[in-house]
Amino acid sequence: MAFEMTSVVSKLQNLSTSDHASVVSMNLFVALLCACIVIGHLLEENRWMNESITTLLIGVCTGVVILLFSGGKSSHILVFSEDLFFIYLLPPIIFNAGFQVKKKQFFKNFMIIMSFGAIGTLISCCIITFGATQAFKRMDIGPLEIGDYLAIGAIFAATDSVCTLQVLSQDETPLLYSLVFGEGVVNDATSVVLFNAIQSFDLNRLNPSIAMQFLGNFFYLFIASTLLGVLTGLLSAYIIKKLYIGRHSTDREVALMMLMAYLSYMLAELAYLSGILTVFFCGIVMSHYTWHNVTQSSRVTTKHSFATLSFVCEIFIFLYVGMDAMDIDKWKFVSDSRGTSIATSAILLGLILLGRAAFVFPLSFLSNLTKKSQHQKISFRQQVIIWWAGLMRGAVSMALAYKQFTRSGHTQLRSNAIMITSTITVVLFSTVLFGLLTKPLIRLLLPHPKHTSSMTTTEPSTPKSVIVPLLGDHRDSEADLEGHEIHRPNSLRALLSTPTHTVHRLWRKFDDSFMRPVFGGRGFVPVEPGSPSERNGHQSP
Amino acid sequence: MAFEMTSVVSKLQNLSTSDHASVVSMNLFVALLCACIVIGHLLEENRWMNESITTLLIGVCTGVVILLFSGGKSSHILVFSEDLFFIYLLPPIIFNAGFQVKKKQFFKNFMIIMSFGAIGTLISCCIITFGATQAFKRMDIGPLEIGDYLAIGAIFAATDSVCTLQVLSQDETPLLYSLVFGEGVVNDATSVVLFNAIQSFDLNRLNPSIAMQFLGNFFYLFIASTLLGVLTGLLSAYIIKKLYIGRHSTDREVALMMLMAYLSYMLAELAYLSGILTVFFCGIVMSHYTWHNVTQSSRVTTKHSFATLSFVCEIFIFLYVGMDAMDIDKWKFVSDSRGTSIATSAILLGLILLGRAAFVFPLSFLSNLTKKSQHQKISFRQQVIIWWAGLMRGAVSMALAYKQFTRSGHTQLRSNAIMITSTITVVLFSTVLFGLLTKPLIRLLLPHPKHTSSMTTTEPSTPKSVIVPLLGDHRDSEADLEGHEIHRPNSLRALLSTPTHTVHRLWRKFDDSFMRPVFGGRGFVPVEPGSPSERNGHQSP
């Protein structure tokens, strides 16, 4: 494995030198990306396939072809580097997730999303850690420490809900979509934060004080990262509004938004916080304030170019994972213990199924207890879909596994080789098999999505390619305020039973009177500095 | 210098590992980019400054600050790597140049642009090589071979007209703008092709047969690169039109356009062609065909996101050059021979002034001879502006100088150190001083731009941020055909006197009857496969 790490480094060098071999691999890679896009387009209406599975399979096939061409020597066209993944590929995806999320739905279901994403991931991690500890100790795997077992928990608690999101419709099943989507993002962040927390603590001498410290660290990371993202987003909104950058050039606006989003991620890394959470909240704030301060063409451009960037990064990752899976060096180590490797993968898959069931159904039950109306409750069918949506494992698991099991010092160990190959097996198996079953399963459980959807959709069902951007739906603001003005929390009981609604209403008021006058946002036309609407805003509160 | 190369490599490694020092420098760099954009915006209406000078100065200042903070030890936050420049930064800039160019103006002035860009660059290169050979042999510089002198010619023949283009207006002086702009792109390509041709030939035993081979190679590169770009562009148009990618997702269209553009560049590198020319012509073809096949929002997105990408890359380069100029290691070598270094820079600057004058005025004179009407001739004032526009030297010169004078084997030589520092001096001096004088000079020479502009502008003067994209001006097509229908080439003399117009008219006919039905383009709404307009197109010719 040490060889692999040096080969990662040399590959990266090659990518940046005009070495002809690296030009060949870059050509191949870009051409494959184009092919994936075209094939993904052609298979769009296929009953079984989706883009991620297609891309993963193309990656695996390419790996096999390269393996054959090089005479079984190597498939080293590109080797998975977790740093490339965390520094360049993940930020655009997560930022776009925050930027495109329907904020109203997200914040309405904020409590349940957070409990699924944070508490659920913790439960899942504990169960997988416990199960793995029990199972692997009896198997001939090799020495694994408690830190390794905790890391395995964090690695396999990281879900990849891209497959399911490609099937669900945001307009037809908004509640389900926002739950699956929101949980996915919070889960990504939680598992990375958890993993980093595990790595930085000495877990061999575990006592209550260290456990408390661990929890404290976890919440500090969560809150500080969120705040940093919000502040960077607000700063971008303020700069663009105050200086009215669009006056001279739309390119400057777009460039500034992109750079500040990336800056938020890098600042979080600088302060040892969670870049994923930061960039997610930066995306939310940017779409709430900054996006409304820029010119019309910048809005269309940012909306689509962020989505495109995220799309390309996703394809890149699946292709990358697929090609890397065929890397022969990894498999050499475990070729003599194929049985153990398969057993490990099977156990892990079982633990994933169990660990997820152990929090989706109980937490849904608890959530349903707090809701009065039947509309807001999560039906059993929806619970099954939420459970299923988080079964796939993806690039985050791969990257974390590489981080844990190829560290310098103990990279040639048999146990590490087995864990890496098991991770690859679980990722391929869950993505391809569970992924293939997702479309049929959802069609079975939601036969008439329009009727199953229990929430009233406030969003118009927009066609996929709209000319005028509808990211910020102007109807939301008014409809929302009017709707909740009626059942004002005039008693303590009402306050307790609808806490999120009340918080939402108070936030709206605060937003309208304090935030928007300073940071802009919908309802305000892009004003010139010192225009009437701006000055009024400053004086009226 | 060997130390520098390894430090480049280690920096690139650092960028891709989660090393905390590299996170710090990436933060600093992204924050500086943001600062440059904001300051550039604030100085937009300043009489003297422009974005490139501002950015360059910010880079130099940051270099000084880092130098002071590190106690004079290093300013190694980022070291200029010519591969980073050629593989990642230059392609987006050149592609965007091709994508945004006003094709009608460009092709109308095609002959003069090509003669300025190709023949002019050759003349300039010869004069600089000759002058340098004569001057440097008498100075105490060290051993330079004939290949080095030829490389110096190619290095300092590469202009950087970004400064001037920021001042000229495409709408007020279309002829001048298209000449300066077109020459800039062709010059970039020519000098890189020339440089590569020089590097790949053994020039010590020069004879007529090798010279012919050299010229043949040069033209082969030119034609093959252009063809490759055109073919890739047509392929993208065909795929997007035939499969109607936008039906499912606009993101796929945008992603496919971006990836195919980059693929064209990489394919050219793969075939040892000139990627710059390829990606430029790919941009032209994409804006002529592909762009008209995509959905409306994809058009807005591609137009602005390509411009933004190019803008960010430009700022990146100037910042990068500015910071690298303060790299202390380079200056240590020449600190004992400051006089020689200054003399070298002064001689090179003189040769640049001379070399450019030696082709702008004669070639303009020749061009004016072929034009009948006073309108189409290039006035003396315009010739001075063209001459001035190409005096700045930029990142291409830097990158080529690094390529030539830091190659392994003879990197610690005094002559090489002097050439590198002289290049930096020339780049800084010409960009800052000549750049500062550009705005006043153009105001002096073109006091009333609207009246001096001798061409009638067919483009409406669009504001800088337009809501509906006007990249493809629908008026062009018809107006053009009608206008030229009147003076049909009914005699041989007419054919000879207006060859480009005739070619242009024939091309239009060919385009309308053969190309557009297959590859799409303006005049055709984005049709579904098998729609009437498409079938008619196939049958009518």
Q: For A16, which of B87, B297, B307 is closest by C-beta distance?
A: B87
In percent, how much of chain B has pLDDT > 70?
78
Least confident of A251-260, A453-462, B267-276, B296-305: A453-462
Which residues on B lie below 8 Å from A297 (Cβ)? 300, 304, 465-467, 469
Closest residue of A to B312, CA-based?
A: A255
**Do A75 and A246 contact (CB within 8 A), yes or no?**
no
Burial of A327 (C-beta count, 10 Å sphere; 0-12/13-18/19+): buried
What integer pLDDT is reported at residue A412 of this predicted model? 64
What integer pLDDT is reported at residue A448 of this predicted model? 58
Tell me if chain A has a CB within 8 Å of the CB of B423. no
> Do B83 and A17 lie within an 8 Å CB cutoff?
yes
Closest residue of A to B43, CA-based?
A: A248
pLDDT band at B461 (very low <50, low <70, confident <90, very high): very low
Which residues on A lie below 8 Å from B91 (Cβ)? none
* Size (chain A), residues: 541
CA distance A119 to chain B (A): 28
What are the backbone angles phi and psi of residue A303, rounded to the nearest 5°?
Answer: -55, -50
Tell me if chain B has a CB within 8 Å of the CB of A251. yes
ipTM of this predicted structure: 0.79
Tell me if chain B has a CB within 8 Å of the CB of A40. yes
pLDDT band at B109 (very low <50, low <70, confident <90, very high): confident
> Do B312 and A248 lie within an 8 Å CB cutoff?
no
Tell me if chain B has a CB within 8 Å of the CB of A408. no
What integer pLDDT is reported at residue A411 of this predicted model? 53
Instruction: Report how far apart, in Å, the C-alpha atoms of B528 and of each of A334, A465, B304, B512, B520 are.
Output: 52, 15, 26, 19, 11
Least confident of A196-205, A283-292, B436-445: A196-205
Sign of CA dihedral B459, B460, B462, B466: negative
Average pLDDT over residues B81-91: 82
What integer pLDDT is reported at residue A73 of this predicted model? 64
Closest residue of A to B468, CA-based?
A: A297
> Do B297 and A9 lie within an 8 Å CB cutoff?
no
Least confident of A344-348, B46-50, B183-187, B343-347: B46-50
Q: Say how many CB pairs under 8 Å bridge A and B.
A: 189
d(CA A270, CA A276): 13
pLDDT tens for A401-450 read 888 887 644 456 778 888 888 898 999 999 888 888 888 888 888 765 44
pLDDT band at B83 (very low <50, low <70, confident <90, very high): confident
Burial of A297 (C-beta count, 10 Å sphere; 0-12/13-18/19+): buried
* Amino acid at site A442: I
pLDDT tens for A107-150 read 888 888 888 988 899 999 999 999 999 888 888 777 778 888 88
Residue A228 predicted with pLDDT over 70:
yes
Among B329, B320, B462, which residue's Cα sits nearest to residue B399? B320
Among B161, B160, B162, which residue's Cα sits nearest to residue B51? B162
What integer pLDDT is reported at residue A526 of this predicted model? 42
Average pLDDT over residues A214-238: 89
Average pLDDT over residues B180-199: 84
What integer pLDDT is reported at residue A531 of this predicted model? 32
Q: For A465, which of B23, B81, B250 is closest by C-beta distance?
A: B250
Q: Which residues contact B261 (CB under 8 A, 6 or more apart)?
A: B91, B95, B232, B236, B279, B282, B283, B286
What integer pLDDT is reported at residue A474 of this predicted model? 37
pLDDT band at A463 (very low <50, low <70, confident <90, very high): very low
Mutate to test the interface with B, among A15, A32, A252, A314 (most CBs of B within 10 A): A252
- Across all residues in chain A, what is the average pLDDT? 77
**Do B431 and B391 contact (CB within 8 A), yes or no?**
no
pLDDT band at B309 (very low <50, low <70, confident <90, very high): very high
Which residues on B lie below 8 Å from A307 (Cβ)? 251
d(CA A72, CA B244): 39
What integer pLDDT is reported at residue A118 of this predicted model? 87
> Do B37 and A260 lie within an 8 Å CB cutoff?
no
What integer pLDDT is reported at residue B478 of this predicted model? 35
Least confident of A69-73, A180-184, A241-245, B427-431: A69-73
Residue B78 predicted with pLDDT over 70:
no
Among B318, B394, B434, which residue's Cα sits nearest to residue B60? B318
Residue B69 predicted with pLDDT over 90:
no
Q: Which of residues 464-493 of A touch B (CB under 8 A)?
A: 464-467, 469
pLDDT band at B357 (very low <50, low <70, confident <90, very high): very high
Residue B128 predicted with pLDDT over 90:
yes
Among A183, A467, A165, which residue's Cα sits nearest to residue A304? A467
Q: Interior CA angle at A168 toward B243 and A453, to 5°? A: 130
Tell me if chain B has a CB within 8 Å of the CB of A223. no
User: Does A333 or B378 have the greater pLDDT score?
Assistant: B378
Residue A264 predicted with pLDDT over 90:
yes
* Amino acid at site A111: M
CA dihedral B109, B111, B112, B116 (to 10 degrees): 130
What are the backbone angles phi and psi of residue B21, rounded to the nearest 5°?
Answer: -60, -40
Tell me if chain A has a CB within 8 Å of the CB of B81. yes
Tell me if chain A has a CB within 8 Å of the CB of B443. no
> Do B38 and A239 lie within an 8 Å CB cutoff?
yes
Using a cut of 0.90, tell me whether the model's pTM lies above it: no
Tell me if chain B has a CB within 8 Å of the CB of A533. no
Least confident of A486-490, B117-121, B356-360: A486-490
Tell me if chain A has a CB within 8 Å of the CB of B245. yes
**Do A123 and A355 contact (CB within 8 A), yes or no?**
yes
Here the tokens at position A386 are 């939420």
Q: Which of residues 10-29 of A touch B (CB under 8 A)?
A: 12-13, 15-18, 20, 23-24, 26-27
d(CA B44, CA A241): 17
Residue B16 predicted with pLDDT over 60:
no
Tell me if chain A has a CB within 8 Å of the CB of B174. no
pLDDT tens for A326-364 read 777 677 777 777 788 888 999 999 999 999 999 999 999
Tell me if chain A has a CB within 8 Å of the CB of B39. no
Task: Tell me if residue A274 falls in helix, strand or coil.
Answer: coil
Q: Which of residues 289-348 of B touch A (CB under 8 A)?
A: 295-298, 300-301, 303-305, 307-308, 311-312, 315
Here the tokens at position A447 are 């036969």
Which residues on A lie below 8 Å from B262 (Cβ)? 30
Q: Interior CA angle at B190 toward B189 and B195, to 5°? A: 100
CA distance B312 to chain A (A): 7
d(CA A165, CA A178): 10
Least confident of A233-237, A256-260, B125-129, B436-440: B436-440
Residue A70 has, within 13 A of its CA and on its CB side, a CA count of 15
Average pLDDT over residues A39-62: 84
Here the tokens at position A305 are 């170019």
Residue A470 predicted with pLDDT over 90:
no
Which residues on A lie below 8 Å from B250 (Cβ)? 304, 464-465
> Do A270 and B16 lie within an 8 Å CB cutoff?
no
Which residues on A lie below 8 Å from B26 (Cβ)? 266
pLDDT tens for A70-111 read 776 665 566 667 778 888 888 998 899 889 888 888 888 888
Residue A484 predicted with pLDDT over 70:
no
What integer pLDDT is reported at residue A534 of this predicted model? 33
pLDDT band at B296 (very low <50, low <70, confident <90, very high): confident
What integer pLDDT is reported at residue B257 of this predicted model? 93
pLDDT band at B1 (very low <50, low <70, confident <90, very high): very low
Residue A459 predicted with pLDDT over 50:
no
Residue A374 predicted with pLDDT over 80:
no
> Do A259 and B34 lie within an 8 Å CB cutoff?
yes
What integer pLDDT is reported at residue B499 of this predicted model? 54
d(CA A109, CA A89): 28
pLDDT tens for B23-53 read 888 888 899 999 999 998 888 777 777 788 8
Tell me if chain A has a CB within 8 Å of the CB of B408. no
Mutate to test the interface with A, among B301, B312, B467, B471 (most CBs of A within 10 A): B301
In percent, how much of chain B has pLDDT > 90?
20
What integer pLDDT is reported at residue B80 of this predicted model? 67
Tell me if chain B has a CB within 8 Å of the CB of A407. no
Residue A308 predicted with pLDDT over 90:
yes
Tell me if chain B has a CB within 8 Å of the CB of A503. no
What integer pLDDT is reported at residue A282 of this predicted model? 95
CA dihedral B220, B221, B225, B228 (to 10 degrees): 50
Which residues on B lie below 8 Å from A300 (Cβ)? 297, 300-301, 304
Tell me if chain B has a CB within 8 Å of the CB of A84. yes
Average pLDDT over residues B508-532: 64
Which residues on B lie below 8 Å from A86 (Cβ)? 18
Q: Which residue has the tokens 């800056």?
A: A263
Average pLDDT over residues B369-386: 83
Question: Of A229-238, A480-489, B510-519, where does the model show the most confidence?
Answer: A229-238
d(CA A267, CA A265): 5
Percent helix, strand and coil across chain B, each rounded to 5? 75, 0, 25
pLDDT tens for A54-72 read 888 998 898 888 888 877 6
Residue A260 predicted with pLDDT over 90:
yes
Instruction: Report how far apart, in Å, the C-alpha atoms of A136 and of each of A335, A456, A484 are.
Output: 19, 48, 54
Tell me if chain A has a CB within 8 Å of the CB of B180. no
> Do A84 and B17 lie within an 8 Å CB cutoff?
no
What integer pLDDT is reported at residue B307 of this predicted model? 92
Burial of B271 (C-beta count, 10 Å sphere; 0-12/13-18/19+): middle
d(CA B15, CA B24): 10
Task: Tell me if residue B126 falls in helix, strand or coil.
Answer: helix
* Amino acid at site B273: L
pLDDT tens for A146-179 read 888 889 999 999 988 776 777 777 777 888 888 8
d(CA A415, CA A392): 24
Q: Which of residues 199-218 of A touch B (CB under 8 A)?
A: none
Tell me if chain B has a CB within 8 Å of the CB of A92. no
Residue B13 predicted with pLDDT over 60:
no
What integer pLDDT is reported at residue A124 of this predicted model? 94
What integer pLDDT is reported at residue B147 of this predicted model? 83
